[in-house]
Protein backbone atom coordinates (compact mmCIF):
# COMPACT_ATOMS: atom_id res chain seq x y z
CA UNK A 1 0.00 0.00 0.00
CA UNK A 2 3.04 2.25 0.29
CA UNK A 3 1.76 3.79 3.51
CA UNK A 4 4.55 2.82 5.88
CA UNK A 5 8.26 3.12 5.32
CA UNK A 6 10.28 0.95 7.63
CA UNK A 7 13.73 1.54 8.95
CA UNK A 8 16.10 -1.11 10.11
CA UNK A 9 19.83 -1.59 9.86
CA UNK A 10 19.77 -5.32 10.17
CA UNK A 11 17.94 -8.22 8.56
CA UNK A 12 18.70 -11.68 9.91
CA UNK A 13 17.80 -14.87 8.08
CA UNK A 14 18.17 -17.75 10.55
CA UNK A 15 18.39 -21.31 9.21
CA UNK A 16 17.15 -23.17 12.27
CA UNK A 17 14.97 -22.88 15.34
CA UNK A 18 18.14 -22.95 17.44
CA UNK A 19 19.42 -19.88 15.59
CA UNK A 20 16.12 -18.07 16.13
CA UNK A 21 16.38 -18.91 19.82
CA UNK A 22 19.95 -17.58 20.05
CA UNK A 23 18.99 -14.36 18.27
CA UNK A 24 16.00 -13.84 20.57
CA UNK A 25 18.09 -14.50 23.68
CA UNK A 26 20.61 -11.92 22.51
CA UNK A 27 17.90 -9.36 21.77
CA UNK A 28 16.06 -10.08 25.02
CA UNK A 29 19.16 -9.48 27.11
CA UNK A 30 19.82 -6.18 25.34
CA UNK A 31 16.20 -5.13 24.94
CA UNK A 32 16.45 -4.96 21.15
CA UNK A 33 13.15 -4.90 19.27
CA UNK A 34 12.49 -7.63 16.69
CA UNK A 35 10.05 -7.68 13.78
CA UNK A 36 9.35 -11.12 12.31
CA UNK A 37 8.69 -11.26 8.57
CA UNK A 38 7.36 -13.98 6.31
CA UNK A 39 6.73 -13.54 2.59
CA UNK A 40 5.96 -9.81 2.94
CA UNK A 41 2.54 -10.20 1.42
CA UNK A 42 0.63 -9.28 4.56
CA UNK A 43 -2.39 -7.02 4.42
CA UNK A 44 -2.07 -6.27 8.12
CA UNK A 45 -1.31 -2.61 7.69
CA UNK A 46 2.30 -2.06 8.74
CA UNK A 47 2.28 -5.38 10.62
CA UNK A 48 5.68 -6.44 9.31
CA UNK A 49 7.31 -3.01 9.17
CA UNK A 50 10.10 -2.07 11.58
CA UNK A 51 9.31 1.40 12.84
CA UNK A 52 11.93 2.01 15.52
CA UNK A 53 15.01 0.46 13.95
CA UNK A 54 14.09 -3.04 15.11
CA UNK A 55 15.99 -6.05 13.84
CA UNK A 56 14.10 -7.75 11.01
CA UNK A 57 13.94 -11.51 11.43
CA UNK A 58 13.07 -13.07 8.11
CA UNK A 59 12.07 -16.74 8.21
CA UNK A 60 12.60 -17.31 4.46
CA UNK A 61 15.63 -19.57 4.93
CA UNK A 62 13.69 -21.96 7.12
CA UNK A 63 11.80 -23.65 4.31
CA UNK A 64 11.92 -27.41 4.73
CA UNK A 65 9.00 -29.80 4.94
CA UNK A 66 9.62 -31.74 8.14
CA UNK A 67 7.11 -34.56 7.65
CA UNK A 68 3.90 -35.55 5.93
CA UNK A 69 1.61 -38.38 6.93
CA UNK A 70 -0.26 -39.59 3.83
CA UNK A 71 -2.83 -41.40 5.97
CA UNK A 72 -3.91 -38.63 8.32
CA UNK A 73 -2.92 -35.69 6.08
CA UNK A 74 -0.89 -34.08 8.89
CA UNK A 75 1.83 -31.85 7.46
CA UNK A 76 4.69 -30.47 9.54
CA UNK A 77 6.75 -27.71 7.95
CA UNK A 78 9.17 -24.91 8.72
CA UNK A 79 7.48 -21.54 9.05
CA UNK A 80 9.25 -20.12 5.98
CA UNK A 81 7.72 -22.63 3.52
CA UNK A 82 5.80 -20.93 0.71
CA UNK A 83 2.12 -21.94 0.71
CA UNK A 84 2.11 -22.99 -2.95
CA UNK A 85 5.26 -25.09 -2.47
CA UNK A 86 3.48 -26.96 0.32
CA UNK A 87 0.48 -27.51 -1.97
CA UNK A 88 2.80 -28.97 -4.60
CA UNK A 89 4.47 -31.18 -2.01
CA UNK A 90 1.26 -32.83 -0.86
CA UNK A 91 -0.61 -32.92 -4.21
CA UNK A 92 0.97 -36.23 -5.36
CA UNK A 93 -0.39 -37.79 -2.14
CA UNK A 94 -3.89 -36.55 -3.00
CA UNK A 95 -4.12 -33.68 -0.49
CA UNK A 96 -4.56 -29.90 -0.64
CA UNK A 97 -3.79 -27.12 1.83
CA UNK A 98 -6.85 -26.07 3.88
CA UNK A 99 -6.03 -22.43 3.11
CA UNK A 100 -5.79 -20.66 -0.24
CA UNK A 101 -5.24 -17.01 -1.02
CA UNK A 102 -4.13 -14.74 -3.84
CA UNK A 103 -0.58 -14.45 -2.44
CA UNK A 104 -0.03 -18.23 -2.38
CA UNK A 105 3.04 -18.00 -4.63
CA UNK A 106 5.05 -16.03 -2.07
CA UNK A 107 3.33 -15.99 1.33
CA UNK A 108 4.77 -18.23 4.05
CA UNK A 109 2.80 -20.72 6.12
CA UNK A 110 4.27 -19.13 9.28
CA UNK A 111 2.98 -15.72 8.20
CA UNK A 112 -0.40 -17.23 7.34
CA UNK A 113 -0.65 -18.60 10.86
CA UNK A 114 0.76 -15.50 12.57
CA UNK A 115 -1.88 -13.37 10.85
CA UNK A 116 -4.60 -16.05 10.94
CA UNK A 117 -5.10 -15.43 7.23
CA UNK A 118 -8.59 -16.31 6.02
CA UNK A 119 -8.74 -16.56 2.26
CA UNK A 120 -10.90 -18.41 -0.19
CA UNK A 121 -11.34 -21.85 1.37
CA UNK A 122 -12.44 -20.82 4.84
CA UNK A 123 -16.09 -21.47 4.05
CA UNK A 124 -15.25 -25.13 3.42
CA UNK A 125 -12.35 -25.97 5.71
CA UNK A 126 -12.73 -23.45 8.54
CA UNK A 127 -10.12 -21.11 10.00
CA UNK A 128 -6.54 -21.88 10.98
CA UNK A 129 -7.71 -21.98 14.58
CA UNK A 130 -9.26 -25.31 13.62
CA UNK A 131 -6.80 -26.74 11.08
CA UNK A 132 -3.51 -25.96 12.84
CA UNK A 133 -2.64 -29.01 14.96
CA UNK A 134 0.48 -27.68 16.58
CA UNK A 135 3.18 -25.03 16.54
CA UNK A 136 6.80 -24.61 17.38
CA UNK A 137 7.41 -21.15 18.77
CA UNK A 138 10.39 -19.20 20.06
CA UNK A 139 9.44 -16.87 22.90
CA UNK A 140 10.90 -13.36 23.19
CA UNK A 141 13.49 -14.56 25.74
CA UNK A 142 14.66 -17.36 23.43
CA UNK A 143 12.76 -20.24 25.07
CA UNK A 144 11.65 -22.82 22.51
CA UNK A 145 8.10 -24.09 22.97
CA UNK A 146 7.72 -27.34 21.09
CA UNK A 147 4.06 -28.08 20.55
CA UNK A 148 4.41 -29.53 17.08
CA UNK A 149 1.77 -32.13 17.75
CA UNK A 150 -0.01 -33.95 14.94
CA UNK A 151 -2.84 -35.10 17.20
CA UNK A 152 -6.46 -34.38 16.38
CA UNK A 153 -7.44 -34.62 20.02
CA UNK A 154 -5.43 -33.27 22.92
CA UNK A 155 -7.29 -31.93 25.94
CA UNK A 156 -4.31 -31.38 28.19
CA UNK A 157 -5.17 -28.00 29.62
CA UNK A 158 -4.75 -24.61 27.94
CA UNK A 159 -4.42 -24.76 24.18
CA UNK A 160 -1.41 -22.47 24.02
CA UNK A 161 -0.95 -22.57 20.25
CA UNK A 162 -4.22 -20.68 19.78
CA UNK A 163 -2.65 -17.58 21.33
CA UNK A 164 -0.02 -17.38 18.60
CA UNK A 165 -2.51 -17.82 15.75
CA UNK A 166 -3.32 -14.26 14.72
CA UNK A 167 -1.01 -12.64 17.30
CA UNK A 168 0.87 -11.00 14.41
CA UNK A 169 4.24 -11.85 15.91
CA UNK A 170 3.63 -9.93 19.13
CA UNK A 171 3.99 -12.91 21.48
CA UNK A 172 6.81 -14.89 19.87
CA UNK A 173 8.12 -16.23 16.59
CA UNK A 174 6.45 -19.17 14.91
CA UNK A 175 9.21 -21.42 13.55
CA UNK A 176 7.26 -24.59 12.71
CA UNK A 177 3.67 -25.43 11.83
CA UNK A 178 1.75 -28.68 11.98
CA UNK A 179 -1.45 -28.52 9.95
CA UNK A 180 -4.21 -30.91 8.94
CA UNK A 181 -4.65 -31.04 5.16
CA UNK A 182 -7.88 -32.26 3.54
CA UNK A 183 -8.12 -34.78 0.68
CA UNK A 184 -7.99 -33.23 -2.78
CA UNK A 185 -11.44 -32.96 -4.33
CA UNK A 186 -11.86 -35.02 -7.49
CA UNK A 187 -13.77 -32.32 -9.29
CA UNK A 188 -13.80 -28.56 -8.93
CA UNK A 189 -16.24 -26.33 -10.75
CA UNK A 190 -17.34 -22.73 -10.62
CA UNK A 191 -19.88 -20.31 -11.96
CA UNK A 192 -20.47 -16.57 -11.85
CA UNK A 193 -23.92 -15.06 -11.55
CA UNK A 194 -24.71 -11.46 -12.48
CA UNK A 195 -27.57 -10.37 -10.21
CA UNK A 196 -30.41 -7.94 -10.76
CA UNK A 197 -29.96 -6.30 -7.41
CA UNK A 198 -27.94 -6.60 -4.25
CA UNK A 199 -31.06 -7.76 -2.41
CA UNK A 200 -30.81 -10.97 -4.43
CA UNK A 201 -27.45 -11.96 -2.95
CA UNK A 202 -28.97 -13.40 0.22
CA UNK A 203 -31.72 -15.50 -1.39
CA UNK A 204 -29.11 -16.84 -3.82
CA UNK A 205 -26.76 -17.65 -0.95
CA UNK A 206 -29.56 -19.47 0.83
CA UNK A 207 -30.43 -21.42 -2.29
CA UNK A 208 -26.77 -22.26 -2.94
CA UNK A 209 -26.38 -23.68 0.54
CA UNK A 210 -29.57 -25.68 0.25
CA UNK A 211 -28.86 -27.13 -3.19
CA UNK A 212 -25.07 -27.52 -3.11
CA UNK A 213 -24.29 -27.81 0.58
CA UNK A 214 -22.15 -30.94 0.50
CA UNK A 215 -19.96 -29.70 -2.37
CA UNK A 216 -19.96 -25.92 -1.87
CA UNK A 217 -16.39 -24.65 -1.37
CA UNK A 218 -16.57 -20.88 -1.96
CA UNK A 219 -19.20 -18.18 -2.19
CA UNK A 220 -17.63 -14.86 -3.14
CA UNK A 221 -19.14 -11.49 -3.88
CA UNK A 222 -18.10 -8.44 -5.89
CA UNK A 223 -19.96 -5.32 -6.83
CA UNK A 224 -20.17 -3.63 -10.20
CA UNK A 225 -17.40 -1.14 -9.45
CA UNK A 226 -14.98 -3.91 -8.50
CA UNK A 227 -15.83 -5.78 -11.72
CA UNK A 228 -15.35 -2.63 -13.82
CA UNK A 229 -11.91 -2.00 -12.32
CA UNK A 230 -10.75 -5.55 -13.15
CA UNK A 231 -11.96 -5.13 -16.73
CA UNK A 232 -10.52 -1.61 -17.03
CA UNK A 233 -7.06 -2.77 -15.97
CA UNK A 234 -7.30 -5.84 -18.21
CA UNK A 235 -6.88 -8.30 -15.38
CA UNK A 236 -9.92 -10.37 -16.25
CA UNK A 237 -11.95 -11.30 -19.29
CA UNK A 238 -15.25 -9.39 -19.30
CA UNK A 239 -18.52 -11.30 -19.25
CA UNK A 240 -20.81 -10.90 -22.29
CA UNK A 241 -21.74 -7.22 -22.06
CA UNK A 242 -25.21 -7.46 -23.59
CA UNK A 243 -26.27 -10.06 -21.06
CA UNK A 244 -24.92 -8.58 -17.84
CA UNK A 245 -26.12 -5.10 -18.88
CA UNK A 246 -26.21 -3.04 -15.72
CA UNK A 247 -25.97 -5.86 -13.15
CA UNK A 248 -25.02 -4.20 -9.86
CA UNK A 249 -23.75 -7.31 -8.07
CA UNK A 250 -22.00 -10.57 -8.87
CA UNK A 251 -21.39 -13.80 -7.00
CA UNK A 252 -18.93 -16.58 -7.68
CA UNK A 253 -19.86 -20.06 -6.55
CA UNK A 254 -17.26 -22.82 -6.40
CA UNK A 255 -17.92 -26.48 -5.74
CA UNK A 256 -15.41 -29.18 -4.84
CA UNK A 257 -16.67 -32.71 -4.75
CA UNK A 258 -15.88 -36.33 -5.23
CA UNK A 259 -17.73 -37.20 -8.42
CA UNK A 260 -17.25 -35.14 -11.58
CA UNK A 261 -20.46 -36.14 -13.35
CA UNK A 262 -22.60 -35.77 -10.27
CA UNK A 263 -21.09 -32.35 -9.37
CA UNK A 264 -21.44 -30.96 -12.89
CA UNK A 265 -25.03 -32.13 -13.13
CA UNK A 266 -25.81 -30.57 -9.73
CA UNK A 267 -24.30 -27.25 -10.73
CA UNK A 268 -26.07 -27.24 -14.09
CA UNK A 269 -29.39 -27.97 -12.36
CA UNK A 270 -28.72 -25.19 -9.86
CA UNK A 271 -27.88 -22.73 -12.64
CA UNK A 272 -31.07 -23.56 -14.52
CA UNK A 273 -33.13 -23.12 -11.37
CA UNK A 274 -31.76 -19.67 -10.50
CA UNK A 275 -31.78 -18.51 -14.12
CA UNK A 276 -35.44 -19.43 -14.49
CA UNK A 277 -36.28 -16.63 -12.08
CA UNK A 278 -35.57 -13.48 -14.08
CA UNK A 279 -36.11 -11.23 -11.10
CA UNK A 280 -33.07 -12.83 -9.42
CA UNK A 281 -30.37 -13.34 -11.99
CA UNK A 282 -29.50 -11.48 -15.17
CA UNK A 283 -27.13 -14.08 -16.44
CA UNK A 284 -24.89 -16.90 -15.32
CA UNK A 285 -21.70 -18.40 -16.69
CA UNK A 286 -20.73 -21.95 -15.81
CA UNK A 287 -17.06 -22.70 -16.48
CA UNK A 288 -16.72 -25.34 -19.17
CA UNK A 289 -12.99 -25.98 -18.96
CA UNK A 290 -10.00 -25.29 -16.73
CA UNK A 291 -9.17 -22.10 -18.62
CA UNK A 292 -12.63 -20.68 -18.09
CA UNK A 293 -12.60 -21.80 -14.44
CA UNK A 294 -9.46 -19.70 -13.97
CA UNK A 295 -10.94 -16.79 -15.92
CA UNK A 296 -13.95 -16.68 -13.65
CA UNK A 297 -11.76 -16.81 -10.54
CA UNK A 298 -9.60 -14.01 -12.02
CA UNK A 299 -12.63 -11.70 -11.97
CA UNK A 300 -12.68 -12.03 -8.20
CA UNK A 301 -9.03 -12.66 -7.32
CA UNK A 302 -7.69 -9.73 -9.40
CA UNK A 303 -9.75 -7.08 -7.61
CA UNK A 304 -7.02 -6.06 -5.10
CA UNK A 305 -4.50 -5.71 -7.94
CA UNK A 306 -6.97 -3.69 -10.04
CA UNK A 307 -7.58 -1.43 -7.04
CA UNK A 308 -3.87 -0.81 -6.58
CA UNK A 309 -3.49 -0.01 -10.28
CA UNK A 310 -6.30 2.53 -9.98
CA UNK A 311 -4.76 4.49 -7.13
CA UNK A 312 -4.07 4.57 -3.42
CA UNK A 313 -6.50 2.50 -1.42
CA UNK A 314 -7.98 2.88 2.03
CA UNK A 315 -8.71 -0.71 2.85
CA UNK A 316 -11.30 -1.83 5.37
CA UNK A 317 -11.55 -5.54 6.01
CA UNK A 318 -14.68 -5.90 8.04
CA UNK A 319 -17.13 -8.46 9.37
CA UNK A 320 -20.72 -7.23 9.29
CA UNK A 321 -24.05 -8.99 8.74
CA UNK A 322 -24.25 -9.94 5.06
CA UNK A 323 -27.56 -8.06 4.71
CA UNK A 324 -25.72 -4.80 5.45
CA UNK A 325 -22.86 -5.24 2.94
CA UNK A 326 -24.31 -2.96 0.31
CA UNK A 327 -25.52 -0.31 2.73
CA UNK A 328 -22.05 -0.07 4.29
CA UNK A 329 -20.57 0.60 0.84
CA UNK A 330 -23.37 3.04 -0.06
CA UNK A 331 -23.14 4.94 3.24
CA UNK A 332 -19.39 5.31 2.83
CA UNK A 333 -19.90 6.70 -0.66
CA UNK A 334 -22.61 9.10 0.59
CA UNK A 335 -20.32 10.28 3.37
CA UNK A 336 -17.60 11.13 0.83
CA UNK A 337 -20.16 12.88 -1.35
CA UNK A 338 -21.32 15.00 1.58
CA UNK A 339 -17.73 16.00 2.28
CA UNK A 340 -17.24 16.93 -1.40
CA UNK A 341 -14.58 14.26 -1.78
CA UNK A 342 -16.25 11.80 -4.11
CA UNK A 343 -15.05 11.87 -7.70
CA UNK A 344 -13.69 15.38 -7.31
CA UNK A 345 -10.15 16.50 -8.28
CA UNK A 346 -7.66 15.02 -5.82
CA UNK A 347 -10.47 13.12 -4.10
CA UNK A 348 -11.77 9.59 -4.08
CA UNK A 349 -12.08 7.82 -7.43
CA UNK A 350 -14.27 4.92 -6.41
CA UNK A 351 -15.66 2.97 -3.50
CA UNK A 352 -15.75 -0.75 -4.14
CA UNK A 353 -17.11 -3.68 -2.19
CA UNK A 354 -16.22 -7.35 -2.53
CA UNK A 355 -15.33 -10.25 -0.32
CA UNK A 356 -16.10 -13.55 1.21
CA UNK A 357 -19.82 -13.22 1.62
CA UNK A 358 -20.09 -16.81 2.78
CA UNK A 359 -17.99 -15.81 5.82
CA UNK A 360 -19.65 -12.41 6.36
CA UNK A 361 -16.40 -10.67 5.40
CA UNK A 362 -16.63 -7.49 3.33
CA UNK A 363 -13.60 -5.80 1.76
CA UNK A 364 -14.47 -2.13 1.51
CA UNK A 365 -11.84 -0.39 -0.60
CA UNK A 366 -11.86 3.37 -1.07
CA UNK A 367 -9.60 4.23 -4.00
CA UNK A 368 -8.16 7.72 -4.21
CA UNK A 369 -5.68 9.52 -6.41
CA UNK A 370 -3.45 9.93 -3.37
CA UNK A 371 -3.58 9.52 0.39
CA UNK A 372 -4.79 12.71 2.10
CA UNK A 373 -5.61 13.72 5.66
CA UNK A 374 -8.95 15.05 4.47
CA UNK A 375 -10.07 11.73 3.04
CA UNK A 376 -8.81 9.88 6.08
CA UNK A 377 -10.71 12.22 8.38
CA UNK A 378 -13.89 11.62 6.37
CA UNK A 379 -13.46 7.85 6.62
CA UNK A 380 -12.26 7.44 10.19
CA UNK A 381 -13.79 6.96 12.64
CA UNK A 382 -16.87 6.97 10.37
CA UNK A 383 -16.30 3.45 8.99
CA UNK A 384 -15.30 2.05 12.39
CA UNK A 385 -18.42 3.50 14.02
CA UNK A 386 -20.55 2.03 11.27
CA UNK A 387 -18.99 -1.38 11.91
CA UNK A 388 -19.45 -0.99 15.65
CA UNK A 389 -23.12 -0.13 15.16
CA UNK A 390 -23.55 -3.57 13.55
CA UNK A 391 -21.49 -5.26 16.29
CA UNK A 392 -19.05 -6.16 13.54
CA UNK A 393 -15.28 -6.55 13.47
CA UNK A 394 -12.89 -3.86 12.19
CA UNK A 395 -10.59 -6.65 11.02
CA UNK A 396 -12.14 -9.83 9.73
CA UNK A 397 -9.09 -11.57 8.28
CA UNK A 398 -6.19 -9.18 7.66
CA UNK A 399 -5.35 -8.17 11.21
CA UNK A 400 -4.58 -5.03 13.17
CA UNK A 401 -0.89 -4.25 12.61
CA UNK A 402 0.23 -0.73 13.22
CA UNK A 403 -2.54 1.09 11.48
CA UNK A 404 -5.54 -0.23 13.35
CA UNK A 405 -4.06 -0.62 16.84
CA UNK A 406 -5.72 2.63 17.91
CA UNK A 407 -9.09 1.38 16.66
CA UNK A 408 -9.12 -1.97 18.46
CA UNK A 409 -11.70 -0.68 20.94
CA UNK A 410 -14.38 -0.54 18.24
CA UNK A 411 -14.41 -4.34 18.26
CA UNK A 412 -12.99 -5.32 21.64
CA UNK A 413 -14.23 -4.23 25.07
CA UNK A 414 -12.08 -2.30 27.54
CA UNK A 415 -11.86 -5.42 29.69
CA UNK A 416 -10.80 -7.59 26.75
CA UNK A 417 -8.05 -5.17 25.74
CA UNK A 418 -6.82 -5.04 29.34
CA UNK A 419 -6.63 -8.85 29.37
CA UNK A 420 -4.79 -8.86 26.04
CA UNK A 421 -2.23 -6.45 27.52
CA UNK A 422 -1.74 -8.73 30.51
CA UNK A 423 -1.17 -11.71 28.20
CA UNK A 424 1.32 -9.71 26.14
CA UNK A 425 3.13 -8.88 29.35
CA UNK A 426 3.39 -12.53 30.42
CA UNK A 427 5.16 -13.42 27.17
CA UNK A 428 7.06 -10.20 26.55
CA UNK A 429 7.44 -7.98 29.59
CA UNK A 430 10.34 -6.20 27.86
CA UNK A 431 8.16 -5.30 24.88
CA UNK A 432 10.64 -6.42 22.21
CA UNK A 433 8.31 -8.50 20.00
CA UNK A 434 6.95 -6.56 17.04
CA UNK A 435 6.49 -3.41 19.15
CA UNK A 436 3.55 -1.11 18.49
CA UNK A 437 1.57 -3.75 16.58
CA UNK A 438 -1.93 -4.89 17.62
CA UNK A 439 -1.73 -3.17 21.03
CA UNK A 440 -0.75 0.48 21.33
Ligand X SMILES: O=C(O)CC[C@@H](O)C(=O)O
Among 23, 24, 34, 43, binds ligand X (CB under 6 A): 43
The nearer residue to ligand X, 37 or 41, going by C-beta atoms, is 41
Q: Distance between the two ends of the chain, CA-based, in angstroms?
A: 21
The answer to whether residues 190 and 254 touch, using CB atoms and an 8 Å cutoff, is: yes
Residue 97 binds to ligand X (criterion: CB under 6 A)? no
Segment 305 to 364, residues that bind ligand X, using CB under 6 A: 315, 317, 363
The answer to whether residues 180 and 98 touch, using CB atoms and an 8 Å cutoff, is: yes
The nearer residue to ligand X, 348 or 432, going by C-beta atoms, is 348
Task: Give least dist CB 169 to ligand X, A.
Answer: 19
Q: Give the whole-angstrom CA distance, residue 173 versus residue 28.
A: 13
Task: Give least dist CB 420 to ligand X, A.
Answer: 24
Q: Give the whole-angstrom CA distance, residue 14 versus residue 57.
A: 8
Q: Which residues, other chains included, contact 129 with Cβ-Cβ below 8 Å and sequence gap of 6+? A: 116, 162, 165, 166
Task: Give least dist CB 176 to ligand X, A.
Answer: 25
The nearer residue to ligand X, 121 or 161, going by C-beta atoms, is 121
The residue with its CB nearest to ligand X is: 304
The nearer residue to ligand X, 80 or 304, going by C-beta atoms, is 304
Burial of 155 (0-12, 13-18, 19+ CB in 10 A): exposed
Neighbours of 86 (CB within 10 A): 26
Task: Give least dist CB 89 to ligand X, A.
Answer: 24
Task: Give least dist CB 234 to ligand X, A.
Answer: 18
- The whole-angstrom distance between residue 307's C-alpha and the CA centroid of its chain comes to 16
Task: Give least dist CB 235 to ligand X, A.
Answer: 12
The answer to whether residues 111 and 43 touch, using CB atoms and an 8 Å cutoff, is: no
The nearer residue to ligand X, 102 or 431, going by C-beta atoms, is 102
Q: Minimal CA–CA distance to 137: which of 8, 69, 36, 40?
A: 36
Task: Give least dist CB 3 to ligand X, A.
Answer: 13
The answer to whether residues 102 and 117 touch, using CB atoms and an 8 Å cutoff, is: no
The nearer residue to ligand X, 189 or 365, going by C-beta atoms, is 365
The answer to whether residues 296 and 190 touch, using CB atoms and an 8 Å cutoff, is: yes
Task: Give least dist CB 343 to ligand X, A.
Answer: 21
Task: Find the helix or strand (DSSP H, E) in which 426 lies.
Answer: helix 414-427
Q: Minimal CA–CA distance to 325: which of 355, 281, 280, 366?
A: 355
Q: What are the angstrom distances between the C-alpha of 315 and each of 186, 224, 371, 376?
A: 36, 18, 12, 11
The nearer residue to ligand X, 78 or 317, going by C-beta atoms, is 317
Task: Give least dist CB 373 to ligand X, A.
Answer: 21
Among 36, 46, 304, 358, binds ligand X (CB under 6 A): 304
Task: Give least dist CB 30 to ligand X, A.
Answer: 37
Backbone angles phi, psi at 259, to 5 degrees: -140, 110
Q: What are the angstrom distances between the C-alpha of 361 and each of 49, 120, 200, 239, 419?
A: 25, 11, 17, 25, 26
Q: Which residues, other chains included, contact 410 with Cβ-Cβ below 8 Å and sequence gap of 6+? A: 381, 384, 385, 387, 388, 394
Number of residues that bind ligand X (CB under 6 A): 8
Among 102, 248, 311, 431, binds ligand X (CB under 6 A): 102
The nearer residue to ligand X, 136 or 317, going by C-beta atoms, is 317
The nearer residue to ligand X, 45 or 54, going by C-beta atoms, is 45
Segment 229 to 268, residues that bind ligand X, using CB under 6 A: none
Among 365, 393, 395, 434, binds ligand X (CB under 6 A): 365
The nearer residue to ligand X, 266 or 300, going by C-beta atoms, is 300
- Per CB under 6 A, residues contacting ligand X are 43, 102, 303-304, 315, 317, 363, 365
Amino acid sequence: MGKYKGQSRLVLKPKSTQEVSQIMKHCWERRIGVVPQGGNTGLVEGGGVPVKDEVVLNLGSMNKVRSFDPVSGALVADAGCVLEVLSQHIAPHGYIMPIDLGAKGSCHIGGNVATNAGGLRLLRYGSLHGTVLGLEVVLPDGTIIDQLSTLRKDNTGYDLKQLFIGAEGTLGIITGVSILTPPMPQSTNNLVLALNSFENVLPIFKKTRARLSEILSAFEYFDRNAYELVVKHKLGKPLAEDEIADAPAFVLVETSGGNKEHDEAKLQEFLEEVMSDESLVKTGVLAQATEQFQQLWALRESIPEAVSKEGKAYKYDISVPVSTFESVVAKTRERLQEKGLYQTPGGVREVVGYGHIGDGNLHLNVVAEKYSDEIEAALEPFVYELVESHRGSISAEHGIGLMKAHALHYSKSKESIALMKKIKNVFDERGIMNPGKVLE
